[in-house]
């Protein structure tokens, strides 16, 4: 399976999580050489195709976290829920200009290939929006560090 394969695991996990627990333009990836795939400004790849990022708006209600404690509480639920279907799950709250999101990192296996995934959960006017990046776990391409830093610090 090529590194461009993108995990399609999120819908059932998100529905479970949402039971527990300003409008944006398309994602802009300010990483040199990254381009939208097939002209889709919500799906980006590095020049080698070894790292991909996708922004999705899920249409499900998602709370706006205004304190780190609210985000941390969701992060704990997310870690527990994701841990049922993926491995090596780590979550943490992340500050986005006074609002809070949750960052998750985990390993996901598909068709015999293990992927390392970084995923940011944000509220966009009360609706879930995610920014997800992945790459094959057995490789350590140069794009991984830039992708993870973008998701961790810049994706908004």
Its pTM stands at 0.82
Q: What is the pLDDT of residues 90-149, one digit of tens each?
A: 999 999 988 999 999 999 999 999 999 999 999 999 999 999 999 998 877 889 999 999
Whether 6 is in a domain gets the answer no
User: CA geometry: angle at 146 spanning 10 and 3, to 5°?
Assistant: 50
Q: What is the pLDDT of residues 37-63, one digit of tens each?
A: 998 989 999 999 999 999 999 999 999
Q: Which domain holds residue 113?
A: 45-154
Q: What is the pLDDT of residues 57-73, one digit of tens each?
A: 999 999 999 999 999 99
pLDDT of residue 3 exceeding 60, the answer is no
User: CA geometry: angle at 63 spanning 57 and 64, to 5°?
Assistant: 95
How many residues comprise the chain? 156
Whether 106 is in a domain gets the answer yes
What is the CATH classification number for the domain harbouring 89?
3.40.1000.10
CB-based contacts of 92, cutoff 8 Å, min separation 6:
72, 75, 102, 103
Cα distances (Å, whole numbers) of residue 102 to 25, 111, 142: 20, 28, 25
Whether 52 is in a domain gets the answer yes
Whether 35 is in a domain gets the answer no
């Amino acid at each position: 399976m090529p590194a461009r394969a993108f995990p399609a695991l999120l819908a059932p996990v998100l529905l479970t999580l949402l039971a527990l627990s300003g409008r944006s333009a398309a994602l802009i990836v300010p990483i040199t050489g990254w381009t939208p795939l097939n002209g889709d400004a919500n799906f980006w790849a590095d020049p080698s195709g070894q790292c991909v990022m996708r922004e999705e708006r899920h249409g499900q209600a998602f709370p706006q976290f205004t304190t780190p404690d609210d985000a941390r509480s969701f992060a704990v639920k997310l870690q527990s829920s994701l841990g049922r279907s993926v491995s090596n799950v780590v979550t943490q709250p992340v500050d986005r200009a006074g609002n809070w999101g949750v960052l998750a990192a985990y390993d996901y296996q598909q068709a015999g290939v293990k992927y390392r995934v970084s995923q940011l959960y944000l509220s966009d006017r009360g609706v879930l929006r995610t920014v997800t990046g992945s790459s094959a776990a057995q490789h350590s391409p140069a794009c991984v560090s830039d992708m993870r830093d973008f998701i961790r610090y810049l994706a908004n």
